[in-house]
A and B are shown apart, each in its own frame.
Chain A
Amino acid sequence: MTMAAADRPRGIGGAISDIFFARPQLLTLLLLMPPLLWIGIVYVGSLFALLLQSFYSLDDFSGLVVHQFTLATYQQLFEGSNVQIILRTVVMAALVTVVSAFIAFPIAYYAARYARGWMKALFYLAVMMPLWSSYLVKVYAWKLILAKEGVITWFANALHMGWLLDGVLGLPIVGGPSLSFSYIGTFLVFVYIWLPYMILPTQAALERVPANFIEASSDLGADPGQTFRTVIFPLALPGIVAGSIFTFSLTLGDYIIPQIVGNSRLMIGQAVYTLQGTAGNIPLAAAFTVVPMVIMAFYLWMAKRMGAFDVL
C-alpha cells in the first residue's frame, strides 16, 4: 500500500482552514469587516454628520435649524464670548499638558529604568488605580479638598500659611473666592485626572530605550545632562507626544470638571453641552466640536514636522 502524500481535509473546520490557506486575503477581509463597518459607519459616519451640521445655521427668530450651507456658524465662533471660550480652553489644555508632562516624566523614568519586580507592580497599580474609580467621585472629592472648608485651607491655617493661600487666591484671573471656584482648582483637577494618560505612554517610550544607549552616550563623553538632552529625551518624545495628545484633547473636550470645580466661565465642552441641550443650537455646538479636532490635527502636523515621530 502506498501512502498518500497529503492528508484529506478533516471535517468542516479542516475544509474551511484549507480555503483560508489558499486565499489568505479572504481571511484578512473577514477579520477586518466588523471593525471596518463599525468605524466606517458608526464613527466616521457620525463625525461626518457632525461636520455637516456645522455648516448649517440656527434661525435666531424661530429657533429652528436652517438646512442650508453657510459659513455663518463658523463666523460666530470668532465673535465675543465664543472666542474667549476657545482661548480659555486651549490655554488651559496647553498648561495641563505641559505640567502633566513635567510631572509624568520623572515617574515614568523611574518606572522604566529602575523599578523591578514588586516595585514595578506597585507603579502600575498606583498609576492605574485612579482610573478604576468613578471619574465623578474623584472630581467631587477634589471639590471637597479644594473647598474653603476643605483640607487644603485647614492645613494652610494649621501651618500659619493662610496668608499664602489668600495671596494665591487674590491673584487676578487665576484666583477666586476659594480654590474650588478658581482656574487653579480646575487646573489641578485636570492634571490629577489626566496624569495617568501622560505617564503610561511616556513610560512605554522610555522602556524601549535600551540601557546601553545611555552607556554608549556616556562612553562617547556625554555627561548625564547631555545624554538626557541628546539621547533619552528625543527617544522618549514620541511617547510624550502620544501622552500630550491624550491630556490635550481630553482637556479640550471635557465639560464635567470645569462645571464642578472652577468659576462659572465656560470651556468648549460646556459650551457644546449647553448649545446642543437647552439652546438647541446644534450647528454652533457642531462648529465648537470641530475646533478641538482642527487644533489636534494642527498639533500632530507640527509634532511630525519637528521630527517627534522619526524614531517610530
Chain B
Amino acid sequence: MSPAVRFQNVSRRFGAIRAVDGVSLDIQPGEFFALLGPSGSGKTTCLRLIAGFEQPDEGHIEIFGETVEGVPPYRRNVNTVFQDYALFPHMTVGENVAYGLMIKGVGKAERETKARDALAMVKLAGYEGRRTAQLSGGQRQRVALARALVNGPKVLLLDEPLGALDLKLREQMQEELKSLQTSLGITFVFVTHDQGEALSMANRVAIFSEGKIVQVGTPADVYERPTSRFVADFVGSSNVLSPEVAASHGGSATWTSLRPERIEVVTTGAGVPTGYASARGKVSVVSYQGAVTRITVVTDKLPLVASVPATTPFNKGDEVTIAWPMAAMVSMGDAA
C-alpha cells in the first residue's frame, strides 16, 4: 500500500530563504504524525505543501500514491484545521460545518444531518444555529475540527491545533484528538512547536530544523535516542557531553546526551552503585518545579542539570555526588 503522504526531496523557497530544503518523508496510512520544530523550521510550509496552499519548487509529493504537484487545494482529498480556525463569520456553526458538503452539492437535508452528526462527534451537539462569534476558543477549535472531518478527508492536517488554548483545555483536547484519530482511523498530520504535545499524541514525529528533517521516529526513539545535539536539546532538555567528557565518564568518545531525570544524587556515605558513572560538584542553581526539583551541579568538567525528587531539599552551595547509569549516556554519533 502506498504511503498516505510521500515527500521526495521536496524544496520550497521564498526568495533567498529555503523554507523547506530537500525533505523526504513517508507518512503511513492511519498514522498520527507530528511535524515538530521551532518556528521558521519549515514544518508549517510542509503542511501547506500537503494541503496544496504551496507548490514545491523541487521534488515530488504524493498523497495515497497520487501525484499532487499542480493540483489545487480544492481538488485534494485532504482537509485542514487552521491555527486560528478560520471559521466563516457570516455563517452559523451549522453552515460552517456543512460548507464543504454544500460546495460538493450534497442536498440540504443530508448535509444538515451530517453536520449535526459531526458536531455531536466533537461534543457540540445542538450548536448548529449559533454564530461563531458566540463561541469560546475551545468550541471554535471543535467546530473547525468538525468542519474538516465532515468531508471524510483521507488526511487531516492540523496546524498548531492547540496553540491558542489554555493548558487544561489543551490537555483535554490532546486526549480527544487522540481518541478521535484512533476511532476514525484517518491519517492525522499535525504541526506543533510543543514537544510535549508531539510526544504525547503522535505515533511518529519528524523533527525539523532550518527547513530539513533532522530525525524521524517514534516519540520514544527521538526522546531516548536523539541523533543530534539539536534533537537532544529541542525534545525535552538534555545535558550534552562533548566526546572528551563522555569518554572520561566511561562513555564512547562521541557527542553524548544525558537526560536530567536519569541523574541521581548519591546520599552521603552510600557508595556509587555498580554500572553507574559519577561526578562530584557544587549545587549552583535550585529550581523548584512541584513534582521535581531541577538542580544544576557544577562539576570540574561542566555544569550538569539533574531532575531530582522534590522530597530532598537542596541549597545553593551544597557539595553533592551525582551518579547516572552508564546506559543513560546516549551516543549521538559524531553529529554536531
Counting chain A residues whose Cβ lies within 8 A of the other chain, the interface size class is 10 to 19
Given contacts A212-B82, A212-B84, A215-B82, whether A220 and B103 have CB atoms under 8 Å apart is yes
Residues of A within 8 A of B79 (CB): 219-220
Nearest-Cβ distance from residue B140 to partner chain A, whole angstroms? 13
| Interface presence of A98 (CB below 8 A) | no
B90–A221 CB distance below 8 A: no
Task: Evaluate contact between B82 and A230: CB separation under 8 angstroms.
Answer: no
Q: Does A149 contact B (CB under 8 A)?
A: no
Provide the bound-state CA to CA distance between A219 and B74, in Å. Answer: 5
A interface footprint on B256-267 (CB within 8 Å = 1, 0 otherwise): 000000000000
Which residues of chain A from 42 to 64 have any CB-CB distance to chain B below 8 Å in the complex? none
CA distance A262 to B150 in the complex (A): 58
Interface residues on B, range: 20 to 34
Cross-chain contact B89 with A235 (CB below 8 angstroms): yes
B331 interface hit (Cβ, 8 Å): no
Per-position 1/0 for B25-59, Cβ under 8 A of A: 00000000000000000000000000111000000
For A215, the chain B residues whose CB sits under 8 A away are 51, 53, 73, 80, 82, 86
- A selection of 28 A-B contacts at a CB cut-off of 8 Å is A212-B82, A212-B84, A215-B51, A215-B53, A215-B82, A216-B86, A218-B52, A218-B53, A218-B72, A218-B73, A219-B73, A219-B74, A219-B80, A219-B148, A220-B74, A220-B147, A220-B151, A221-B74, A221-B103, A221-B151, A223-B72, A223-B74, A226-B103, A230-B99, A230-B102, A234-B90, A310-B90, A311-B89
Contact A221 B84 (CB under 8 A): no
Tell me which of B52, B53, B88 has the highest count of chain A C-beta atoms within 10 A of its own C-beta.
B88
In order of increasing CB-CB distance, the 3 nearest A-B pairs are A220-B100, A216-B86, A218-B73
Beyond A213-B88, A221-B100, 20 additional contacts (C-beta under 8 Å) are A210-B86, A212-B82, A213-B86, A215-B80, A216-B82, A217-B88, A219-B52, A219-B53, A219-B73, A219-B78, A220-B74, A220-B79, A220-B147, A221-B104, A222-B74, A222-B99, A222-B103, A230-B102, A310-B90, A311-B89
Q: Which residues of A contact B78 (CB under 8 A)?
A: 219
Chain B residue numbers with a CB within 8 Å of A212 are: 82, 84, 86
Q: How far is the CA of A232 from the CA of B80 in the complex (A)?
A: 19
Assuming A220-B103, A221-B103, A221-B104, is B86 touching A235 (CB within 8 A)? no
Complex Cα–Cα for A160 and B74 (A): 48
**A179-236 contacts to B (CB < 8 Å):** 210, 212-213, 215-223, 226, 230-231, 234-235
Min CB–CB distance B163 → chain A (angstroms)? 14
CB distance from A74 to the nearest CB of B (A): 40
CA of A177 to CA of B53, assembled, Å: 55
Shortest Cβ gap from A308 to chain B (Å): 10
Q: Which residues of B lie under 8 Å from residue A230 when comparing CB positions?
A: 99, 102-103
Name A215's closest neighbour in chain B (CB-CB).
Answer: B53
Cβ contacts B75-113/A at 8 Å (1 or 0 each): 000111010101011100000000110111000000000
- Shortest A235–chain B CB gap in Å is 6
Provide the bound-state CA to CA distance between A77 and B73, in Å: 57
Contact A231 B100 (CB under 8 A): no
* Pairwise interchain contact B74-A231, C-beta atoms closer than 8 A: no
Alpha-carbon distance A212/B88, docked complex (angstroms): 10
Residues of A with C-beta under 8 A to B86? 210, 212-213, 215-216
What residues on A are CB-neighbors of B148 within 8 Å? 219-220
Residue pair B90, A235 in contact (C-beta under 8 Å):
yes
Residues of A within 8 Å of B82, CB to CB, are 212, 215-216
Instruction: Give the contacts of B187-236 with A (CB-CB under 8 A).
Output: none
- CB-CB nearest in chain B for A214: B86
Chain A residues positioned under 8 Å from B100 (CB to CB): 220-221
When distances are taken between beta carbons in the complex, the residues of chain A under 8 Å from B53 are 215, 218-219
Which residues of chain A are near B90, meaning CB under 8 Å? Answer: 234-235, 310-311
Identify which of A215, A226, A231, A311 gathers the most chain B CB atoms within 10 Å of its CB: A215
Shortest C-beta distance, B188 to chain A (Å), equals 15
B244 to nearest A CB, angstroms?
A: 50
Q: Min CB distance, A51 to chain B, in Å? A: 37
A220 contacts B99, C-beta separation under 8 Å: yes
A219 to B52: give the CA distance in the assembly, Å: 8
Q: Which residue of B lies closest to A222 (CB)?
A: B103
Please, how many angstroms separate the alpha-carbon atoms of A220 and B100 in the complex?
Answer: 5
Chain B residues, CB < 8 A from A221: 74, 100, 103-104, 151
Q: What is the CA–CA distance of A72 and B323 in the complex, to the nearest angstrom?
A: 105
Instruction: Give the shortest distance, in Å, between A233 (CB) and chain B (any CB).
Output: 10
Task: Please report the C-alpha to C-alpha distance between residue A210 and residue B88 in the assembled complex, in whole angstroms.
Answer: 10
The residues of A that contact B73 with a CB separation of less than 8 Å are: 215, 218-219
Chain A residues closer than 8 Å to B80, beta-carbon distance: 215-216, 219
A213 to B84, CA, bound (A): 10
Separation of A210 and B84 alpha carbons in the complex (Å): 11
A226 CB contacts on chain B under 8 angstroms: 103
- Chain B residues within an 8 Å CB radius of A231: 88
Q: How far is the CA of A310 from the CA of B91 in the complex (A)?
A: 9
CA gap between A235 and B102 in the complex, in Å: 18
CB nearest to A227 among chain B residues:
B74
B194, chain A: closest CB distance, angstroms: 21
Q: Tell me, in angstroms, the Cα distance from A216 to B99 when the chains sit together.
A: 10
CB distance from A226 to the nearest CB of B (A): 6
Residues from chain A with a CB closer than 8 A to the CB of B84 are 210, 212
CA distance A171 to B86 in the complex (A): 51
Shortest B174–chain A CB gap in Å is 23
Contacts of A310 in B (CB 8 A): 90
